[in-house]
Amino acid sequence: MGLAKEKPLYETPTDYEDDVYLWLYEQIELLRQKRIQEVDLPNLIEELEDMGSEKLHALESAYRLLLAHLLKWKYQPQKRSSSWEITIGRERDNIDARERESRTLAAQAKSIVETVYRRSVREAATETGLPRESFPTECPWTLDQLRDEDFLPD
């Protein structure tokens, strides 16, 4: 006598294209129950790759915002505001949280800063009205300074 085929967990599984949030939680439940044969593996792989990319993008964004605000702080001291200081602190907190979550991303911080610095200069120039040439061509601060919650340039 053969074993009866297990009934699918979901009569009508959610389509990845229709509701990715619900689809994801269905995939999680399938994995928890070790029902690997029912997992939408191609889309799950794609979603996991996207999650990794988003984590990198979020860290890049935090460094970009931090750098832009530090540049504005240094090169337009007469317009310093509590809003700028709050943004600097918030982005340092974001950087700290993301780097604690991923040692691999933390190890890439120097490269990330080099990559986003030019965009930070563009943003700072636009917001301050100063020409891009007013700012250094390379990031003037060390990673330790960028991560130091008490550091503010001049």
Q: In this predicted structure, what is the pLDDT of residue 11?
A: 75
Q: What is the pLDDT of residues 130-151, one digit of tens each?
A: 999 999 999 999 999 999 999 9
Alpha helix locations (H) across 20-142?
Answer: 20-32, 41-75, 82-101, 103-107, 109-128
Phi, psi (rounded to 5 degrees) for 80: -55, 140
Q: What is the pLDDT of residues 29-66, one digit of tens each?
A: 999 999 999 999 999 999 999 999 999 999 999 999 99
Distance between first and last Cα of the chain: 81
Distance of CA 61 to the CA centre of its chain: 6
3-state SS, residue 4: coil
Cβ proximity of 87 and 127 under 8 Å: no
Please give the average per-residue pLDDT across 82-93, as a whole number.
98
pTM of the model: 0.84
List the chain domain ranges.
Answer: 53-147
Percent of the chain clearing pLDDT 90 (strictly above): 87
